[in-house]
Chains A and B, each alone.
Chain A
Amino acid sequence: MLDKVIDSMAEALADVQDGATILIGGFGIAGIPTELVCALLDQGARELTIVNNNGGDGPIGLSQLIDAGRVRKLVSSYARSVGKTGNAEAFAREYEAGRIELECVPQGIMAERMRAAAAGNGPFFTPTGYGTLLAEGKETRVIDGRGYVLEQPLHGDFGLVRAMQADRWGNLMFNRAERNFNPVVAMASRVAVAQVESIVPLGAIDPEGVQLPGIFVQRVVRREGDR
């Protein structure tokens, strides 16, 4: 029997190694698997490379992980504070002190690099960023008069995602625009862990309504409530 449901977040993340690359879904405050990130904090792995669109949004979760000195490198499109809600102070402080590396990636390229990894593709040429600072150090080529930058696939050892509903095969449904990076994060990771609000019996999700097929998800755990 295929049952991907794990009893606790601690168990779901027990085998995260030091130096691992962790892809984290979510965009701003939407669709962030905050409780899983907190469980990663408790788990203790160090020297992590974290991939997330933002740089810790508010005081809980990624900001704590950064604050605890556990993140060696952040790959992100927008690691700055945004207005009142998007507080990325921990990242700003560590970055200023030179204790964390930042790879700034255009948002769509972050998604597409993960997609390339997920789909078994190698590097790809994109016009995004051509002629800009973010193309520095990368191979570029002009094809039919248009400039392109060579971008690398972005694999995760673990992918942490947030979804609304799952079944024991790992089929996922998301809440509206909380889907954002979550499917591609799961698809690009060797071990995708989904925190979900509810787990339903097989067949309860209409096959046509499955937003991420369970084949891309290795572990499912119910959210353990707010901390």
Chain B
Amino acid sequence: MTQAFRPLDRDGMARQVAADMPDGAYVNLGIGIPTLAARYLPADREVILHSENGIVGMVSAPADQPPDPGLLNASREAIVLVPGASLSDHVVSFTMIRGGHLDISVLGAFEVASNGDIANWDTGEPGAIPAVGGAMDLVVGARSIWAVMSHNTREGAPKIVERCTYPITGQAVVDRVYTDLAVLDVDRAAQRLTVRAMVAGLSFEELQRRTAAPLSRAPDCRIVEP
């Protein structure tokens, strides 16, 4: 049976994230698809990007910029400081992160649970080197946490679950999930997931079948065209 819908690709997911950024927001974008969202920020909105290494106010560098280790984001990509930018050290940068001064942190994830738990740092593979980076500070600190991931694993297993099976990064922190199939709001107190948007051609029943936690559909649920 052929699928009647097409999942979003990485850029498609990044576009969804970017389109929801409010004007004037301070935002930290994690490695991978979250960082890709910087390319699709609406031109009429001022979104101020933060990086763990003390940068506030940056955009991607043009390809011909001479390399400077002092001008890299946390994903090690070359950046340009924008007018109004500031630089600080790690203590101040993580004071911004943990102290609730960032509006949004967007992170990649392995799993998100309906209680708002997120797992994104350790697949629990035996022998794997534990490495967490700044994720545990970001999830407890930023005012709003958005997770971005494919809806299912390559094998088709749901990544949105009732309880995370991988070691978690933070408890009850996620506000919204962007997947290649849908955008969902997380009501952590009620442990309820509300579908805000779905890709064109996907039925709500099929989305539910691919999700290991109960979903409800927002009355104004949008259809995302590829």
Residues of A within 8 A of B (CB): 27-31, 55, 76-80, 82-83, 85-86, 91-92, 95-96, 102, 104-109, 111-112, 114-115, 126-134, 147, 174-184, 211
Interface pair A107/B69, CB less than 8 Å apart: no
A128–B98 touching, CB < 8 Å = yes
B-to-A contact residues, CB < 8 Å: 51-55, 68-72, 74, 76, 81, 87-91, 93-94, 97-98, 122, 127, 129-137, 140-141, 167-171
Contacts of A184 in B (CB 8 A): 89-91
Q: How far is the CB of B210 from chain A (nearest CB, A)?
A: 27
Which residues from chain B contact A76 at a C-beta distance below 8 Å? 131
Cross-interface CB contact of B131 among A79, A109, A176, A179, cutoff 8 Å = A79
Q: How far is the CA of A141 from the CA of B171 in the complex (A)?
A: 15
Candidates B55, B98, B129; contact of A177 at CB < 8 Å: B55
Closest to A31 in B: B69
* Known A-B contacts A80-B129, A131-B168; A179 and B136 likewise in contact (beta carbons under 8 Å): no
Which one, B91, B94, B132, contacts A104 given CB within 8 A? B132
**Known contacts A77-B133, A78-B132, A132-B168; A176/B70 CB under 8 A:** yes
**Which residues in A have their C-beta under 8 angstroms from that of B76?**
28-29, 82-83, 85-86
A129 touches B131 (CB 8 A): no
15 residue pairs bridging A and B, Cβ less than 8 Å apart: A29-B72, A29-B76, A55-B129, A77-B134, A80-B129, A107-B52, A107-B132, A108-B90, A108-B137, A127-B140, A133-B130, A176-B70, A177-B51, A180-B89, A184-B91
**Chain A residues closer than 8 Å to B129, beta-carbon distance:** 55, 79-80, 91-92, 95, 102
Q: A27 contacts B89, CB within 8 Å?
A: no
Q: Is the interface of B mostly helix, strand, loop or mixed?
A: loop
Check A177/B72 contact, CB under 8 A, given A108-B97, A112-B91: yes
CB of A128 within 8 A of CB of B72, answer no
Closest to B70 in A: A176
Which A residues touch B136, using CB under 8 A? 106, 108-109, 128-129, 132, 134
Nearest-Cβ distance from residue B116 to partner chain A, whole angstroms: 11
With a cutoff of 8 Å between Cβ atoms, the chain B residues found around residue A181 in the complex are 89-90
Q: Which residues of A contact B132 (CB under 8 A)?
A: 77-78, 104-107, 134
Q: Are A28 and B72 in contact (CB under 8 A)?
A: yes
Evaluate contact between A80 and B68: CB separation under 8 angstroms: no
The CA-CA distance from A83 to B76 in the complex, in Å, is 9
Q: How far is the CA of A29 from the CA of B72 in the complex (A)?
A: 9
Give the docked Cα–Cα distance between A92 and B91 (Å): 28
CB pair B94–A112 under 8 Å, yes or no, is: yes
For A105, what are the chain B residues with a Cβ–Cβ distance below 8 Å?
132
A30 touches B122 (CB 8 A): no
Asked if residues B170 and A179 are in contact (CB atoms below 8 Å), the reply is no
CB neighbours (8 Å) of A82 from chain B are 76
Q: Which of B87, B94, B127, B171 contacts A111 (CB 8 A)?
A: B94
Specify which chain A residues have a CB less than 8 angstroms from the CB of B68 in the assembled complex.
175-176
A128-B122 contact, Cβ under 8 Å, with A28-B76, A176-B87? no
Per a CB cutoff under 8 Å, which of B69, B91, B171 touches A178? Answer: B69
- Which 8 A-B pairs give the minimum distances between C-beta atoms? A176-B70, A108-B94, A108-B137, A106-B136, A30-B69, A131-B171, A107-B134, A111-B90
Most chain A CB neighbours (cut-off 10 Å) among B55, B87, B122: B87
Contacts of B87 in A (CB 8 A): 176-177, 179
Closest CB of chain B to A176's CB: distance in Å? 3
Q: Is the CB of B133 within 8 A of A115?
A: no
The minimal Cβ–Cβ distance linking A209 to chain B, given in whole angstroms, is 12
Instruction: Name the B residues within 8 Å of A77 (CB-CB).
Output: 131-134
Cross-chain contact B54 with A108 (CB below 8 angstroms): no
5 more CB-based (< 8 A) A-B contacts, given A102-B130, A176-B68 = A29-B69, A107-B94, A112-B94, A128-B136, A179-B54
* Smallest beta-carbon distance A105→chain B, Å: 8
Partner of A78, one of B133, B168, B171: B133
A180 B97 Cβ-Cβ under 8 A = no
Is there contact, CB below 8 Å, between B127 and A115?
no
